[in-house]
Amino acid sequence: MGFHKRWVTEEVLIEKYRTEGINGIESYLCHADAFVTSDKLSMGVVDLFNEYGMDRIKKWNTISELISDASIKKGFNEKKKTTTSS
C-alpha cells in the first residue's frame, strides 16, 4: 500500500475539466492521500474538496464554477505568444 500525493495545478485542473468534466476532477482528487498545490485556483479547489460540512451538490457546483471561470479566462488558445526581433 502506497502513499498517493497529487500535484494540483491550475493547468491540470483546467485540462481535466475540459476533457473529462467535473467527474474527472472528482476522480483525480478522490484517489489522493495528500495534495500539493501551487496556485490560487488549486488551493481553493482543494480547500473546498476537503470541506466536510458543506452540502455535496453545492460543493461540486462551486468547484465546477471556479474551474470553468478560470478556463474561460485562460481561453482556448493557450500557446504562448512569442515575439521575435528582426
pLDDT tens digit sequence for 56-68:
999 999 999 999 9
Q: At what angle do helices 56-74 and 10-30 cross, to 10 degrees?
A: 160
Give the Cα separation of 12 and 18 in Å (integer).
10
- Res. 3 pLDDT band, cuts 50 70 90: confident
Beta strand residue intervals within 11-76, DSSP E: 34-37
**Widest CA span of the chain, in angstroms?**
59
- Structural domain contains residue 64: yes
Domain total for the chain? 1
pTM of the model: 0.81
- Structural domain contains residue 80: no
Closest of 40, 47, 43, 13 to residue 27, by C-alpha:
13
Cell of 52: 466536510
| Structural domain boundaries enclosing 24 | 5-74
